[in-house]
Structure 1
Amino acid sequence: MNLSRLAATMLIGSTSLLLACADLHHHEHEQQQNAFFTPGLGEIMAQTAARHTKLWFAGQERNWELAAYEIDELHEGFADAGKYHPTHKEIKQPIPELIARYMDKPLAGIEQAIKDKNLQGFIDNYNGLTAACNTCHQSTAFGFNVVVQPNFNPFANQAFGSGN
């Protein structure tokens, strides 16, 4: 190999190594930034509202498997709210205490109705959950945020029937 070819090969190799290191550094920086992302309480509650709606339509279609999934997702969302936002600037009580006080009993009631495949029990407990959401909002500075039983399906891209 002549000297100019060797120099070109070394230059290309060195450049490739530097680019790979720069790319690795960029990905490490991206991962570091993502590791520090915390969804706001509003984002968590917006997702909770979507789950609340999906729960209603799953129950109405007697898709108990999907309804149970949505209950599990609600539990996860409430856990995240308490974990990432144990306090809030406008709320005097700790968020985990509010969740336990207002959400635990209604969620347990819906879970039982789902296990029993009891549509009327589901409806009654769903309405109890909705009322609990509003009572929690009223006990804080968020009484203006009123939750209702959905009257239309905003999720046109999801089938709520069980498919069985």
Structure 2
Amino acid sequence: MVASVLIGGCSNEKKPPQQQADASGPYVIGLGEIMGLTQMRHAKLWFAGQANNWPLAAYELDELKEGFDDAVRYHPHHKSVPRPLTTMIPQFVGEPIAEIDTAIKTRDRTRFVAAFDRLTAGCNACHEEASFGFNVVKRPTVPPYSNQSFTPAARSGA
């Protein structure tokens, strides 16, 4: 076994260079990573709203907005996307996010569901225009984490 490790280590086989972070500048999170986190926030927002856990829903909505802000900040123009994300993201998700915010503040679950569905449709329309239409988002059916309760915590003294 030792011989095979040593022989393998001396191989002349050319291997493709590993991608390395550009040491001349700060790390910039990729758009895929931002959108992966956004998808998780989208799911957690849904389950918080379904549980009428309005403080958690407000928190997740704020985190979702921060993710969209990061996408615009760090990737204003992304690869072959036809328009800048600085215009696309607000166009497709701005109104639904405002509607969700109102639904959370008024604790209106019916309004929350309708606004959430508009947000989801906005995400899919944005994906379609950006040539990522193969990435279809929907209402989640299973919470993303088994170690988080979406039910509002009972308050002591209440």
TM range (shorter): 0.7 to 0.9
* Partners of 2:92 and 2:123 within 8 A in 1: yes
The reply to whether residue 110 of structure 1 matches residue 100 of structure 2 is yes
Is 1:152 aligned to 2:146, yes or no?
no
Could you tell me how far 1:153 is from its partner in structure 2? 1.4
Aligned residues: 132
CA distance in 1, matches of 2:40, 2:106: 24
Structure-to-structure mapping, 1:1-164, within 5 angstroms? 36-164=26-154
Provide the residue aligned with 1:23 in structure 2.
none
- How many Å separate the matches in 1 of 2:84 and 2:151? 38
More helix by share: 1
Note the C-alpha offset of 1:139: 1.1
How far off its partner does 1:69 sit?
0.5
Distance in 1 between residues matched to 2:70 and 2:144, nearest whole Å: 24
Measured against aligned partners, the alpha-carbon deviations of 1:68-87 in whole angstroms (never above 9, x if no partner) come to 00110011000100000010
TM, length-normalised to structure 1: 0.78
Preserved CA contact (<8 Å) 2:93 2:119: yes
Shift of 1:154: 2.4
Aligned equivalents of 1:87, 1:58: Cα separation in 2: 32
1:117-159 CA-partner distances (Å, limit 9, x unpaired): 0011001110110011001111111000000000111210111
Structure 1: tracts of 5 or more residues without a match = 1-32
Q: 1:66, 1:142 → 2: CA distance?
A: 30
Q: CA deviation at 1:42?
A: 0.2
Structure 2 residue aligned with 1:25: none
Encode CA deviations 1:76-123: one digit per residue, 9 max, x unaligned: 000100000010112010011001101110000000000010011001
**8 Å contact kept, 2:40–2:144:** no
Identity of aligned residues (%): 48
